[in-house]
């Protein structure tokens, strides 16, 4: 027994020593790449776009307002976000991004709707479900209608309690405050700016009561009517424990942006795909046609495509000495490949589909706290054909 115990200790020490030697040699081999990667990350200024929508119609209106877009335009824009690998954030994501300095995916967008039009449920909600996208609707409390309550024929119809509840329970749509009854103009100035602190707090308490009646949590975010605010309205929101405030000042949101006066980008009608792309300042390529049945990895991109669906990677694939490597967790956690990881020897192993059931081992590489594995041998071992497409600068994995 003592001999067996001694042998196990020797084996452990040997593996540990080999691990240290390997990591040391790896760092000697690739110091320039690792340092460059860290430099790029430090020089980037994390940001996200907050898109602002309002009313959606089935067909383009002859004289549409700047805040009304047709359904086909909205569908095209959501398709663009999907095909370009965008992550649709929740309000909690934005809070953590601003207050806790949490890192969000490189391509992150917050989709918002103002006013609470019924078209958000009729037209936008099915599209959001199609792409599994999250969104936020800021409602005018006094304009929402109880079930079976008649709508005002002179205005665009608003959401019903039942529609709000259904969207919230889907887990895709959150709701925020657009004031209970302060979305009006008085002498050309938003009513909210005429109100003192007590009146604003009273308005916020009315929206809380409405949310409670519907079955929603109390709102902690507000979209200021017409995007206008003052010190009194911000202080009232903070007293009521609001975490986020949104304007309609055009621009992106950065980690050092003031949380209560965040920029948003209003999406206007007749916006072509190229204009929408420019709005997001996105020059990245989408998934090329013909690869919907493949797995696509692009060096330098933190988005992979699996059977046409974009998936976010913890680390972008890299090329070192002509070998494409990708994060191990992508294959294990997202693709559910049966791969065994040895953190001591820094190796991964996968069972080869031969009669003898032998194990095929590969060396993994530590890069910026991520475990990276060579794509080609691992994918071939799992039964995939592997092809490099020079024109698109991407690796394709496909089942034969």
DSSP letter for each residue of 240-283: TT--EEE----S-EETTS-TTSB--EE--SS--HHHHHHHTT--
Of residues 360 and 195, more confidently modeled: 195
**Predicted confidence (pLDDT) at residue 268 exceeds the cutoff of 80:** yes
Residues β-bridged to residue 69: 56
Question: Could you give the C-alpha distances from 393 to 184, 282, 310, in angstroms and in order?
Answer: 53, 18, 17
Q: What value does the mean pLDDT take over residues 37-65?
A: 71
Q: What is the dihedral of CA 188, 190, 193, 197, to 10 degrees?
A: 140
Give the best-scoring range by mean pLDDT among 49-63, 97-111, 215-229, 360-374: 215-229
* Per-residue pLDDT at 63: 62
Residue with tokens 């072509």: 272
Residue with tokens 């309000």: 91
Residues 6+ apart with CB under 8 A from 310: 82, 83, 84, 85, 86, 287, 303, 304
* Per-residue pLDDT at 283: 84
Residue range 200-248, pLDDT digits in tens: 999 999 999 999 999 999 999 999 999 999 999 999 999 999 999 999 9
Q: What value does the mean pLDDT take over residues 367-388?
A: 89
The bridge status of strand 347-351 relative to strand 339-342 is: antiparallel
Instruction: State the pTM of this model.
Output: 0.79
Is there a contact between 195 and 232 (Cβ–Cβ < 8 Å)?
A: yes
Residue range 120-140, pLDDT digits in tens: 999 999 999 999 999 999 999
* Per-residue pLDDT at 172: 98
* Per-residue pLDDT at 64: 59
**Alpha-carbon span 346 to 20, nearest angstrom:** 10
Residues β-bridged to residue 297: 395
Q: What value does the mean pLDDT take over residues 99-106?
A: 89
Residue range 247-259, pLDDT digits in tens: 999 999 999 999 9
Is there a contact between 88 and 109 (Cβ–Cβ < 8 Å)?
A: yes
User: Considering only 261-275, 296-310, 313-327, 343-357, which range has the smallest mean pLDDT?
Assistant: 343-357
**Alpha-carbon span 222 to 199, nearest angstrom:** 16
| DSSP code of residue 117 | B
Largest CA distance in the chain: 92
**Alpha-carbon span 143 to 22, nearest angstrom:** 66
Residue range 285-336, pLDDT digits in tens: 787 788 889 999 999 888 888 988 888 888 889 998 888 999 999 998 889 9
Q: Which of 142, 134, 212, 202 is nearest to 178 (CA)?
A: 142
The bridge status of strand 87-88 relative to strand 108-115 is: parallel
Residue with tokens 């409670």: 212
Q: Which of 238, 220, 211, 241 is nearest to 91 (CA)?
A: 220
Q: What value does the mean pLDDT take over residues 12-39?
A: 37
Q: What is the mean pLDDT of the chain?
A: 85
Where are the domains positioned within the chain? 16-42+287-398, 46-279
User: Considering only 54-63, 190-199, 371-380, which range has the smallest mean pLDDT?
Assistant: 54-63
- State the first-to-last Cα distance of the chain, in angstroms, to the nearest integer: 51
Q: Which of 61, 161, 57, 79 is nearest to 127 (CA)?
A: 79
Question: Could you give the C-alpha distances from 3 to 10, 12, 15, 240, in angstroms and in order?
Answer: 10, 14, 18, 68
* Per-residue pLDDT at 181: 94
Q: Residue 23: pLDDT band by 50, 70, 90 thresholds?
A: very low
* Per-residue pLDDT at 4: 41
Of residues 49 and 308, more confidently modeled: 49
Residue range 137-178, pLDDT digits in tens: 999 999 998 876 777 777 889 999 999 999 999 999 999 999
* Domain 46-279 class, CATH top level: alpha beta
* Per-residue pLDDT at 353: 54
Q: What SS3 class is residue 17? A: helix
* Per-residue pLDDT at 196: 96
**Predicted confidence (pLDDT) at residue 354 exceeds the cutoff of 80:** no
- 262 exposure class (CB count in 10 Å sphere: 0-12, 13-18, 19+): buried
**Alpha-carbon span 17 to 26, nearest angstrom:** 14
Q: Which of 346, 344, 333, 336 is nearest to 374 (CA)?
A: 346
């Amino acid at each position: 027994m003592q001999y067996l115990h001694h042998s196990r200790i020797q084996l452990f020490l040997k593996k540990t020593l080999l691990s240290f030697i390997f990591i040391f040699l790896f760092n000697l081999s690739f110091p320039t790449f690792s340092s460059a990667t860290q430099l790029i990350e430090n020089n980037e200024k994390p940001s996200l776009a907050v898109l602002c929508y309002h009313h959606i119609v089935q067909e383009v209106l002859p004289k549409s307002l700047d805040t009304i877009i047709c359904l086909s335009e909205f569908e095209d824009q959501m398709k663009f976000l999907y095909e370009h690998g965008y992550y649709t954030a929740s309000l909690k994501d934005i809070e953590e991004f601003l207050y806790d300095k949490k890192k969000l995916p490189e391509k992150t967008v917050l989709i918002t709707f103002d006013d609470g039009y019924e078209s958000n449920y009729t037209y936008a909600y099915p599209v959001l479900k199609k792409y599994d996208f999250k969104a936020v609707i800021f409602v005018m409390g006094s304009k929402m209608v109880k079930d079976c309550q008649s709508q005002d024929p002179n205005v665009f119809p608003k959401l019903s309690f039942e529609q709000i509840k259904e969207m919230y329970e889907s887990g895709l749509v959150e709701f925020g405050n657009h004031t209970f009854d302060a979305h009006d103009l008085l002498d050309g100035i938003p009513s909210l700016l005429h109100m003192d602190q007590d009146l604003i707090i009273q308005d916020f308490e009315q929206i809380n009561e409405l949310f409670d009646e519907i079955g929603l949590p109390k709102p902690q975010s507000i979209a200021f009517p017409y995007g206008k605010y003052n010190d009194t309205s911000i202080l009232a929101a903070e007293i009521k424990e609001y975490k986020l405030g949104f304007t309609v000042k055009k621009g992106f949101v950065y980690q050092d942006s003031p949380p209560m006066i965040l920029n948003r980008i209003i999406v206007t009608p007749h916006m072509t795909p190229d204009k929408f792309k420019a709005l997001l300042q996105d020059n990245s390529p989408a998934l090329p046609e013909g690869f919907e049945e493949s797995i696509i990895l692009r060096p330098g991109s933190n988005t992979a495509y699996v059977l046409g669906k974009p998936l976010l990677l913890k680390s972008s694939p890299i090329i070192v000495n002509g070998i494409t490597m990708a994060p191990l967790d992508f294959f294990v956690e997202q693709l559910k490949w049966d791969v065994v990881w040895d953190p001591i020897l820094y190796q991964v192993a996968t069972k080869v589909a031969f009669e003898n059931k032998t194990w095929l081992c590969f060396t993994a590489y530590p890069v910026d706290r991520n475990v990276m594995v060579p794509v080609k041998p691992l994918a071939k071992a799992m039964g995939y054909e592997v092809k490099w497409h020079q024109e698109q600068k991407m690796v394709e994995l496909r089942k034969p």
